[in-house]
Structure 1
Amino acid sequence: MTAGAALPPRKVSRGSLAIASVSTVVEWYDFTLYLYLAPTLARVFFGTGEGALAETLAGFAAAYLLRPLGALVFGQIGDRFGRRRAMLLSVALMTASMLATAALPTDAQAGAAAGWALLALRCVSSFAVGGEYVGVVAYLLEGAKAERRGLVTSSASATSEIGALLAVGVAALVVGSLSGPDLDAWGWRIPFLVGAALAGGVWIARSAMEESPEFERQRATDATPARPLRDMLTTHRSAVARGFAISALGSITYYVGITYVPSFLASAGVRTEGEALSLSTAAAVAVILATPVAGALSDRFGRKPVLVAVALLSAALPVAMFALVANGSAAAALAGAVTLAAIAGGVSAVGAVATAELLPGEGRLTGLALGATGATAIFGGLAPYLAHRLVEATGWPGTPGLMIAAVAALVLPVLVLMPETAPAKAPG
Structure 2
Amino acid sequence: MDTPRQVSRASLAIAAFSTIVEWYDFTLYLYLTTVLARVFYGDYEGSVAMALLVFAVGYLMRPVGAACFGYVGDRFGRRRMMLWSMALMTFTMLATALLPTSLQIGGAAAWWLLALRLVMAFAVGGEYTGVVAYLTEGSASERRGLIASLAAASSEVGALLASAAAALTVWLLPQAEVDAWGWRLPFVAGALMALVIWIARSHMDESPDFERQQREDTVPSAPAKHVLTKQFPAVLRTFAISALGSVTYYVGITYVPSYLATTTGLSESDSLGISTLAAIVVIAVTPLLGWASDHLGRRPILVALAAIGVILPILAFWTMASAENGIIVIVGVMLLAVLGGGVSAVAASATAEQFTGEGRVTGLAFGVTAATAVFGGLALWLSELWGASTGNPLAPGMLMAIVAVVAAPIIATMPETAARQLRKTEG
Q: TM-score range by the shorter chain?
A: over 0.9
Distance 1:425 1:308 in 2: 23
CA spacing shift, 1:7–1:158, aligned 2, 3 Å: farther
Deviation at 1:262, TM superposition (A): 1.1
Q: Which amino acid aligns with 1:184?
A: D
Q: Secondary structure at the match of 1:135?
A: helix
Equivalent runs, 1:77-116 vs 2, <5 Å: 77-116=72-111
2:151 matches 1:156:
yes
Q: Helix, strand or coil: the match of 1:23?
A: helix
* Long gaps (5+) in structure 1: 1-5
CA–CA separation in structure 2 for the residues paired with 1:228 and 1:373:
16
Aligned pair partner of 1:387 in 383, 386, 401: 383
Which of the numbers 45, 68, 78 marks the counterpart of 1:73?
Answer: 68
Q: Given that residues 8 and 213 in structure 1 are in contact (C-alpha distance below 8 angstroms), is that contact kept between their aligned partners in structure 2?
A: no
Structure 1 counterpart of 2:341, one-letter code: G
Deviation at 1:251, TM superposition (A): 0.3
Aligned partner of 2:129 in structure 1 is 134
Q: How does 1:10-409 map to 2 (within 5 A)?
A: 10-328=5-323, 329-409=325-405
Q: Do the aligned partners of 1:270 and 1:326 also contact (CA within 8 Å) in 2?
A: no
Aligned residue type for 1:125: M
How much has 1:326 moved relative to structure 2?
A: 2.5
Q: What TM-score do you get using the length of structure 2 for normalisation? A: 0.97
Q: Which runs of 5+ in 2 are unaligned?
A: none
Q: What SS is found at the alignment partner of 2:127? A: helix
| Matched AA of 1:93 | L
CA distance in 2, matches of 1:399, 1:7: 52
Between the aligned partners of 1:107 and 1:7, the Cα distance in structure 2 is 59
What is the RMSD of the two structures over their aligned residues, measured on CA atoms? 1.5
What SS does the corresponding residue of 1:414 show, helix, strand or coil? helix
Contact in 1 for aligned 2:160/2:276 (Cα 8 Å): yes
What's the CA shift string for 1:328-348, capped at 9, x where partnerless?
211111111011011001111
Taking the aligned partners of 1:302 and 1:366, their CA distance within structure 2 comes to 25
Q: Which amino acid aligns with 2:71?
A: Q
What are the superposed Cα offsets for residues 127-179 of structure 1, whole Å, 9 maximum, x if unpaired? 00010011100000000000000000000000010000000000000111001
What residue identity is the alignment partner of 2:391? G
CA drift of 1:325 comes to 2.0
How many Å separate the matches in 1 of 2:92 and 2:412?
41
Output one character per residue of 1:301-343: Cα deviation in whole Å (capped at 9) or x when no partner. Answer: 1100010111111112111101222232111111110110110
Which amino acid in structure 1 is aligned with residue 137 of structure 2?
Answer: E
Provide the rounded CA distance (Å) in 2 between the counterparts of 1:316 and 1:273.
28
1:415 shift after superposition: 1.2
Note the C-alpha offset of 1:26.
0.6
Checking the alignment, whether the CA contact within 8 Å between 1:420 and 1:426 is kept in structure 2 is: no
Provide, for residues 355-402 of structure 1, a one-character-per-residue CA deviation record: whole Å limited to 9, x for no partner: 110100000000000011110000001001000011112212111011
**How many residues were matched structurally?**
423
Counterpart amino acid of residue 64 in structure 2: L
Instruction: Supply the AA of the counterpart residue of 1:380.
Output: G
1:248 alignment partner, SS class: helix
Q: Contact 2:356–2:422 at 8 Å: present in 1 too?
A: no
Q: CA deviation at 1:424?
A: 5.0
Report runs of 4+ in structure 1 exceeding 3 Å deviation. Answer: 424-427
Letter in structure 2 aligned against 1:178:
L
CA distance in structure 1 between the aligned counterparts of 2:413 and 2:146, rounded to whole angstroms: 23
Q: State the alpha-carbon separation in 2 of the partners of residues 15 and 295 from structure 1.
A: 20
| Alignment CA distance shift 1:13-1:373 (3 Å) | same
8 Å CA contact 1:419–1:426 kept in 2: the answer is no
How far is 1:266 from its partner? 2.0
Q: Is the 8 A contact 2:352 2:364 kept in 1?
A: yes
Q: Aligned residues: percent identity? A: 56
Deviation per residue, 1:36-62 (Å, 9 max, x gap): 000000000001121111110000000
